[in-house]
Amino acid sequence: MSFKKGISVFLLLIMIFLATGCTKLQSMKEMIRDPDDREEMTDKKTETVEIKLDEKDSRETVIYYKDKRNLLIPVSRNISWDTGIAKKTLSYMVNNDENQTDMVKSGLIPVLPTGSQVLGMSVNEETGVSKVNFSKEILNTSDKTEEVSLVNAIVYTLTEFSTIDKVEFMIEGEVKETLTYGTDISEPIERRDINLVDNNGDSKVVVYYKGTTNGEYEYYVPVTKTVASSTSDIYTAVEELFEGPPKDSGLYTDIPMGVDLKGIEVKDNVALIDLSEASKNTITNQQAFDSMNKNIALTLDQFEDIEKVEILFEGKTLEEAKIDFSSPDTIPTFANKY
């Protein structure tokens, strides 16, 4: 056999081997694809498809919107996991057509004025301060109430991230003393007085009530109430919750009328909420019991040592009181999911 023929045979063998190898490789790829994916691969047409985020590619993030009364509402949403996820989260808060359409079913409103942009953002992990540089459109609020809601919404949203404790506001690269209606932004701002209803007491406590903007979508609303007590603790918080929402607030509660609070005790990180015997007749089903339990648990979530809520009736557990309801094992993580 001549040298040239030998080379030709050798090249032919390599081509056969590569073809066989590619076929096997393709078969392996087919094995790890979904059947639906295999069907798409056989379609010669090029189509744009929506990519649904896998859990590992997204993060459940709490964003603060507002309702028609300018009350801030925390909403849990899945945001794609990017390097600048905190900055991306703020983009969901701009009052533009896309975000309005996105939230139309809930009746909630994005808080950042139309055209607002985040020009830059940094986080100092040692101090916990996030410096955010906004465009001048952030100044376009209509009044003081809207302006305070704006600042609180941004601060509460960003401090949902574990590395952020305070937010420093900048406008077009400059640190301003105040916003349009006098809200002080000269220093980094931490969480403060969300949905404050009065300012006459010695201390403050956050209580969760419920609201709706369209009669269909309900949401929990954190409300800051001032109390006469010198300190705010779980006892004060539960008592304020059972007292009911402020008059003319348009808010309501999941605690049925007629449910009477007898006492509160904390034992082994469990908040024991003792109700009257007559309260059993008011809580008619598991759904009503779950709603009441969640309303109490959300209010107590602000206290780090509380891990669970247990409802008692005149000191008796549900089993001892022969009530066929079950209690959740933990405090709920999020108030409102959308």
Q: How many CB atoms lie within 10 A of CB 78?
A: 15
> Distance between CA atoms of 94 and 338, rounded to whole angstroms?
17
249 three-state secondary structure: coil
Instruction: State the pLDDT at residue 56.
Output: 53
Please list, in sequence order, all residues whose beta carbon lies within 8 angstroms of the beta carbon of residue 268, skipping any fewer than 6 positions away: none
Query: Which of 330, 336, 262, 338 shows the shortest CA–CA distance to 297?
Result: 330
Taking the model in full, what pTM does it have? 0.79
Place of tokens 């996820």: 85
Instruction: State the pLDDT at residue 10.
Output: 45
Instruction: State the pLDDT at residue 96.
Output: 96
Instruction: State the pLDDT at residue 328.
Output: 86
Instruction: State the pLDDT at residue 327.
Output: 87
Q: Over its length of 338 residues, how does the chain's per-residue pLDDT go in tens digits?
A: 444 445 454 444 445 444 444 443 333 333 222 333 333 333 333 232 232 334 456 788 999 999 998 999 999 998 877 668 899 999 999 999 999 998 988 999 999 999 999 999 999 999 999 999 999 999 999 999 999 999 999 999 999 999 999 999 999 999 999 999 999 999 999 999 999 987 777 789 999 999 998 788 899 999 999 888 777 789 999 999 999 998 888 999 999 999 999 999 999 999 999 999 999 999 989 999 999 999 999 999 989 899 999 999 999 999 999 999 998 888 887 889 87
**Residues 265, 272 contacting (CB under 8 angstroms):** yes
